[in-house]
A = this chain, B = another copy of it.
Amino acid sequence: VLRVAEGSDLRARAERLDRDDPLAAVRERFVLPPGVYLDGNSLGLLPRAVAARVAQVVRSEWGEGLIGSWNTAGWFALPLRVGDRIARLVGAPPGSVVAGDSTSVQLFNTLVAAARLRPGRSALVTDVANFPTDGYVAGSVARLLGLDLVLVDPSQPLDLDRVLDRHLAVLTLSHVDYRTGVLHDMTAVTAAAHAAGGVVVWDLAHSAGALPVDLLGADADFAVGCTYKYLNGGPGAPAFGFVHPRWADVAEPPLTGWLGHATPFALEPEYRPAAGAARLRVGTPPVLSMAALDAALDVWDGIDLADVRAKSLALTDLFVEAVQERLAPLRVQPVVPREHARRGSQVCLRHLDAYPVVQALIDRGVVGDFREPDLMRFGFTPLTLRHADVLSAVDVLEDVLRTQAWRHPRFAQRSPVT
């Protein structure tokens, strides 16, 4: 049902880019849906290796190995082993990343640990545009620790300068804004926070696996991230937490579950945190979900994040140009930083009727998502998309808008999860 625009310059460019794409073969590592899936920034595609691995964990490791599999199948080591695989993708040294829990839980744990490194300072600073869970968790941490929650608008550099002062305890930001796709300069922002005497907790939900991240190079203190978006770990896959080696033996995370203990099976009465990122472990890890994530990370073998970034920018450039060239008269306005250095791997389109338009697109196999109040959000996953797919999506969008197909009443109906 997807037709292709013939003869345009963009079409020729897309063909050339696909022909020369060093990542072209990688998509075969995934189960590919029909249509154009532009929601890999909400839930990544299923890597082919996952189903067999999960089946093996269920039938053999759990069903036959039972309790012994904590040792023989390496279940106990999974959070740090998987963490090390993620570490490579976010510029973190081995032993500094742990996989587990949800992003919200990881953020709570690292924010409290971060604030405890700056006793006597009063400000927990975050971004008004930050993903709500980050704001909710920051607010809760501020309440628990008696800190002032300070909200800034980082699109205003002067604002940032104003709040990063001697009161700063912790600054927490999303590396890429979940709505606008704005990419922060992690090195510069971290340096500014450090200059003010604070520590920084980065949320990599929309950057891990989407573009090169260099936590160590940027001197980040803590980070958390999500693995079910660009890392294709599966629905609700375990999140991850990073702690810089300089804090790994002094940070005091508040979620003192037994698996973060230095000697968990000694069952000592007093809590003594393990060395390194292991102190970010909390309770027993969800082995089935963790094994799926582990298998999903196989797709990254041999992949250079520089290629991923180059393709991501080519995909979003192509999308924005096609939209501007063909959809300008249809009241569609791209929301995306023009400058590559400020852009993540997504593009939003503003439209007054964004909700039903997104539903009509999904109905025709072009899957994006809606974000309040008027944004159609499209994620561009370089491992699985072709440049031609981008133009196919614009074809469908143009048709939906021109024919006003989105006005059908069934597209107005809200689902519980949007």
Contacts and interface: CB of A to CB of B under 8 A. Distances in A.
A356 interface: no
A283 interface: yes
CB-CB nearest 8 A-B residue pairs? A102-B283, A104-B257, A104-B283, A235-B287, A133-B258, A46-B63, A286-B289, A70-B417
Interface stretch (A181-189, A195-203, A367-375): A367-375
Contacts of A372: 265-267
Interface string A400-418: 0000000000000001111
10 contacts: A39-B66, A46-B62, A54-B288, A61-B235, A70-B235, A105-B282, A137-B255, A140-B271, A235-B287, A236-B283
A135 B362 CA distance: 49
Interface residues of A, number: 84
Given A70-B417, A288-B288, 12 more contacts: A43-B67, A66-B367, A71-B417, A76-B416, A102-B257, A105-B255, A136-B256, A136-B271, A140-B271, A236-B284, A236-B286, A286-B286
A54 B235 CA distance: 12
Given A102-B101, A102-B282, A286-B289, A51 B58 contact: yes
A136 B234 CA distance: 31
Interface in A66-106: 66-71, 75-77, 101-105
A198 B70 CA distance: 39
A393 interface: no
A63 B31 contact: yes
Interface string A104-117: 11001000100000
A64 B33 contact: yes
Contact of A105 (B261, B283, B416, B417): B283
A110 to B, nearest CB: 13
Interface centre among A108, A285, A286, A417 (most CB of B within 10 A): A286
Contact of A257 (B51, B137, B234): B137
A267 B236 contact: no
A46 to B, nearest CB: 4
A55 interface: yes
A172 interface: no
Given A235-B75, A282-B102, A132 B268 contact: yes
Given A66-B43, A265-B417, A369-B67, A236 B140 contact: no
A207 interface: no
A32 to B, nearest CB: 10
